[in-house]
Chains A and B, each alone.
Chain A
């Protein structure tokens, strides 16, 4: 065909089609196709963002990302543990009703220690059912612990049970026979023999020690946590999991305790906090658990805002093998030169300054221990170390992982050190994983760290700084400190004696040697909608929703 050279072939094709075939016929046939597919092939998607649930029966909470896993023997992040602690129970649970956090029965009805806390005996609750109707048996606890300690599981929290006799050897692979691990099950009684005395029940609040149905795990492999496969026994059952989007849980009718107060919980995956706040304002979600520090001054004025101290600390560590901070006098001079209250005031979040190692709210907290702000003394100590105008302190570096809040604090410390001590602090930030690598290989003179309590006991904090502690990046070693901590953990009943030992260790750590510079006790900051009653706000930063109701 001879075509007009500047006509586009495609358009002319469509044109000729339209002119040849009745346009109406085309649309009729397409519509028929659509109707056919709609009725026969496709299903209508659930409408609205609420899964068709009644708002009066549903609590909507925001989670900051997709849970990497709901397998409680493999999870290690707060989002996963938030959901898991609502789906499952362990032998014991936290009790927040008193001034100090204690333990209440859960799957264990009672427990006692003998042989000076080297042996613990638990009575296991009867009449508990898993979500698939099967009876819960004490052996499921032992199965769970075996799975946690089995090297093939490669669980990050296997060390939680290292207190049990031979558990470490089993996890390292040197012991192959699990029956040699210190567990004895007789009927409804579980007897646990430890390597040495310790507060063992505290470890059992952690989700990694929860029981498991190995038959389900073996049947479905890594997909066993999908909603159609998973079997749990907590207050809520997992009904739906739309990856990267949301999870839906409904109250477990077979729960052994009081039924959950709110029938449905939807966990929405919303990474950006401002987006979560937009949805909060539109009435689409009821609770936001983490808020960006830079927005706190504005958010604080809202009536839905709440903040409360949690058992977590923010501190700077010193690399005690790197000059000039290998000299304790220099470290102490630096700490004395910084006014913590200035930092806390800048954060505006209600954080409490901390000069000791144990956070506010925990047994062993002591506001009088540690090095207070004293610029005069700081200068004196620096001179004692041999530094003055003619021999100035060489430049030291502070590193932290890239985050606005960390940068603000670092800049404040940098300014204070310049003003109060006349020394130069160089600050640098690195991307998270790069930062962790630096900490492992060659930490800078000072580096930013934080610690969130795994259980509400000072041992969890003190053991960080043991000379052989995995999390001790300061390279500080002190045999006297080690002995005090190792001995104190074995004392269960004699609280005053324990406190005395911890007081000694505390002084060595933050007064005498000062390999760390504690800054503040952290706070949790939430936005909770008015319609929510009794949202869990506790020092352990644990969010069990079974007692939360909505209006």
Chain B
């Protein structure tokens, strides 16, 4: 064991995989993952990416992208604010009409009686200080509280589904490509087409029937110990898995015909080595592109899955806050989703050069 001879990259990978592995094991053993550990993982990722950017001379590029991100978020916030105010129906309209004095009282309390420009500036001030205010619908709960209480469930659900989709999708696509135009290829692609075409509530319902009603081994809904994770994660992961399988397959078929692969084969390397060592690595670019928005979307909660399995996540809020005209919550959630999307895209762009040295960002 030559610990002294380790390079930064190797130590970093070790520490990162160690902390991530601990977090996953703790979560699956039904322990609460300490916030400190999550923070440490986040920090490690930031450090890793910054060092990587530095080594690749793409620091300027990174900074440019971050500034663009802030501008994008500002534009999104403004548009959302404006669109909300244009929607008919306000947050305090109920079927039993409010006496006008009482309605006036409520609107004054939430600052809705001020002119729109003042409201907008107050809102921007709040965003800058990360104070999104209180929900109009859930009295006494701040938007920050609602998000921090609901986000973990969606995050866990989304992350596991994300990982699952790669674990299933990539081998499946690779397998199909290696057996191109045979029965196995058609079978694999048939399965993945159904995964994309079938609505996820249908897949979910069928899984519930099989595993909760007939076999009685899994609970049909709710979200507690890890056994509750199984059905929602599988249901959520099926469609991305199918997409990734198709992407992988077509990209692999593309790469397999190239010169350097023929060189590798003519060098005498085994099919296995060629396939898994050389072909796969170079086919992952399209998958990488897909995984950026996928990560953002899957982490911010799938409304249908969360409703079907009664998962207390953030997906429900994304939809209901609009029906409720809960302006602060809508704005907070829109920004959350935008941040996730922007960050995922940035990471994916940085990783391009990591995966394919021919791509340079600077």
Residues of B within 8 Å of A38, CB to CB, are 26, 29, 31
Per the bound structure, the CA–CA distance linking A7 and B134 in Å amounts to: 51
B307 at interface, CB cutoff 8 A: yes
Q: Closest chain B residue to A171 by CB distance?
A: B101
Q: Closest chain A residue to B205 by CB distance?
A: A274
A471 & B312 in contact (Cβ 8 Å cutoff): no
Per the bound structure, the CA–CA distance linking A224 and B145 in Å amounts to: 15
Interface-centre pick from A6, A29, A155 (highest chain B CB count, 10 A): A6
B254 at interface, CB cutoff 8 A: no
Per the bound structure, the CA–CA distance linking A399 and B25 in Å amounts to: 55
CB distance from A130 to the nearest CB of B (A): 20
Q: Count A-B pairs with CB separation below 8 Å.
A: 215
Per the bound structure, the CA–CA distance linking A443 and B101 in Å amounts to: 22
1/0 contact string of A147-176 vs chain B (CB within 8 Å): 000011011101100000000000111000
1/0 contact string of B1-45 vs chain A (CB within 8 Å): 111011001100110011101100110011111101100000000
Residues of B within 8 Å of A471, CB to CB, are 96-97
A7 & B308 in contact (Cβ 8 Å cutoff): no
With A22-B1, A38-B31 as contacts: A6 and B282 at CB distance below 8 Å = yes
Of the candidates B95, B102, B281, which one forms a contact with A155 in the assembled complex, judged by CB atoms under 8 Å apart? Answer: B102
CB distance from A196 to the nearest CB of B (A): 18
1/0 contact string of B142-156 vs chain A (CB within 8 Å): 000110011000000
A9 & B139 in contact (Cβ 8 Å cutoff): no
Which of the four size classes fits the interface of chain B?
35 or more
Per the bound structure, the CA–CA distance linking A271 and B311 in Å amounts to: 10
Interface-centre pick from B5, B108, B219, B354 (highest chain A CB count, 10 A): B219
Residues of B within 8 Å of A49, CB to CB, are 219, 222, 224, 228
1/0 contact string of B99-143 vs chain A (CB within 8 Å): 101100110110000000000000000000000001001111100
Of the candidates A154, A223, A224, A437, which one forms a contact with B88 in the assembled complex, judged by CB atoms under 8 Å apart? Answer: A437
Residues of A within 8 Å of B290, CB to CB, are none
B33 & A8 in contact (Cβ 8 Å cutoff): no
Residues of B within 8 Å of A281, CB to CB, are 213, 220
Per the bound structure, the CA–CA distance linking A213 and B9 in Å amounts to: 61
A436 at interface, CB cutoff 8 A: yes
Q: Closest chain B residue to A51 by CB distance?
A: B224
A298 at interface, CB cutoff 8 A: no
Which of the four size classes fits the interface of chain A?
35 or more
A436 & B89 in contact (Cβ 8 Å cutoff): yes
CB distance from A84 to the nearest CB of B (A): 13
A159 & B99 in contact (Cβ 8 Å cutoff): yes
Of the candidates B10, B34, B139, B228, which one forms a contact with A37 in the assembled complex, judged by CB atoms under 8 Å apart? Answer: B34
B289 at interface, CB cutoff 8 A: no
Of the candidates B14, B29, B134, B225, which one forms a contact with A17 in the assembled complex, judged by CB atoms under 8 Å apart? Answer: B14
B139 & A20 in contact (Cβ 8 Å cutoff): no
Per the bound structure, the CA–CA distance linking A274 and B108 in Å amounts to: 40
Residues of A within 8 Å of B17, CB to CB, are 30
Per the bound structure, the CA–CA distance linking A494 and B275 in Å amounts to: 94
Q: Which B residues contact A (CB, under 8 angstroms)? A: 1-3, 5-6, 9-10, 13-14, 17-19, 21-22, 25-26, 29-34, 36-37, 87-90, 93-99, 101-102, 105-106, 108-109, 134, 137-141, 145-146, 149-150, 208, 212-213, 216, 219-225, 228, 260, 278, 281-282, 307-310, 312, 316, 320, 323-325, 354-355, 357-358
Closest 4 CB pairs of A and B: A433-B89, A222-B140, A69-B139, A278-B220
**17 additional A-B residue pairs with CB within 8 Å, beyond A41-B37, A433-B90:** A6-B278, A20-B5, A37-B22, A37-B26, A44-B32, A69-B140, A151-B101, A154-B105, A154-B109, A156-B102, A156-B106, A243-B145, A244-B150, A275-B309, A282-B212, A437-B93, A471-B96
